[in-house]
Structure 1
């Protein structure tokens, strides 16, 4: 009787399944409430780091981005190419090596098999960049190219740097929700919420501190992302003027 009284008054239900002492209590909630708590925590955060892979139209896109309401900075890799993005407020910058810029030139002018501007000066064979292409790409190697808001590339690329846009689009589960056993992400205890047994996606939600989503598995095997460093402060500053190339109102065909 004494043992039962201590358990009832100190532990308030030690015989029940649920989160251990010191956890935030979301493990006792319904799957729908856990997801709602995670979405609310994410919406109220000042910053986050997204790291992992998204799959779109069968093409994997690897992300490692640090994001806040003021902007974002990080790397994106796809199709064997990697480039850096930096957005400070409304100013968006793209930095890549010369191989990236040569690849873009081939994509613009090489779709007919002529290889960029290779047929224009006769110095580049089919499928090969011309000398002028190579020289132009080398000038951009390691430089930040400012992406003008008027360019179609701005909307496409800035989406990778916008915290709210990314989180609103990614934190979706499609189907009937269920809460599974507790797990762990990067040393943090979590509870796993799945939709349609995982086919509709899954979230690992923190059981300590604020109930941030820490791991996202997208529906249809469309990638997996870790959500790290919630609310850790970092600065996003525009690059120095001498490190920036500004083409004006359009870069897509530059």
Structure 2
């Protein structure tokens, strides 16, 4: 009679492949410990790329950002309008076309810029004043620690939900309240980084990649920058 092999906390029958064999082993842990390990791995990483959607205050943002501790760069789309963000240290730059600047509602609800300002702003990297309300709003998209701390949270009782695969990488899935509190896929290869997050309450889905992959944050050239000098039309 075929004996049962004890593997961690799982019982694997003879002839059945242990899904955690050859992995980093986090799949054998309870959900609470998996979450603790993946958060620790994310916090220790020097860089990451995240892309997907985030719903906040009733508005959907599509993000494709590369982030590290001192800034980030990438694209954000909201209400069909796409703009580029780049932050190096405390210097934040925003680049968008005429449609963004002249939008009737303004990205932040102010009514948009007048025709002269639109022509001046379009296609330029606009330096966002630190005292402008837009600075806090947009710089948050470039803040790796702030984003990860706010995003990598599941709500409710944690549990594991089997072995899956993301972009060819085996993962263990953990859930909050059986999925209604969100789901998080954690890599079973190498460092247990989070690879995919489905936020609670249909608040967006994000994928994470290029963990620890360094990239250069280079400020735009001087002739590409426009210092608007007063409150932006989007604030």
TM-score (normalised: structure 2): 0.88
| Counterpart check, 1:145 vs 2:126 | yes
Q: Does 1:159 align with 2:140?
A: yes
Task: Give how far 1:180 is off.
Answer: 1.3
Question: Unaligned regions of 5+ residues in structure 2, if any?
Answer: none
* In 2, Cα distance between equivalents of 1:42 and 1:73: 18
Conserved in 1, the CA contact under 8 Å of 2:75 and 2:85? yes
Give the structure 1 partner of residue 67 of structure 2. Answer: 67
Q: Partners of 1:12 and 1:59 in 2: how far apart?
A: 44
Structure 1 153/253 Cα, relative in aligned 2: closer, same or farther at 3 Å?
closer
Equivalent residues of 2:83, 2:96 under 8 A apart = yes
Are the aligned partners of 2:184 and 2:194 in contact in 1 as well (CA < 8 Å)?
yes
In 1: Cα distance, 2:31 partner to 2:213 partner: 27
Does the 8 A contact of 1:19 with 1:28 survive in 2? no
Q: Pick the structure with greater CA Rg.
A: 1
The alpha carbon displacement at 1:252 in A equals 4.1
CA distance in 2, matches of 1:13, 1:239: 54
Bigger fraction of residues in helix: 1
The number of equivalent residue pairs is: 228
Query: Is this contact kept in 1: 2:185–2:197, CA < 8 A?
Result: yes
Per-residue deviation, 1:20: 3.4
CA pair 49-30 structure 1, distance change in 2 beyond 3 A: same
Q: Which residue of 2 aligns with 1:122?
A: none
Residue equivalent to 2:97: 97
Q: Within 5 A, what are the aligned runs for 1:77-156?
A: 77-103=77-103, 107-109=109-111, 133-156=114-137
Matched, 1:205 2:186: yes
- Structure 2 CA distance for partners of 1:236 and 1:208, relative to 1, 3 Å: same
Structure 1: 5+ residue runs without aligned partners?
Answer: 111-115, 117-132
- In 2, the alpha carbon distance for the partners of 1:12 and 1:73 equals 42
- For 1:237-252, list aligned pairs within 5 A: 237-252=218-233
Q: How well do the aligned residues superpose, as a CA RMSD in angstroms? A: 2.6
Report SS of the residue matched to 1:158: helix
Q: Describe the SS at the equivalent of 1:108.
A: coil
Change (3 A) 1:58 1:15: same
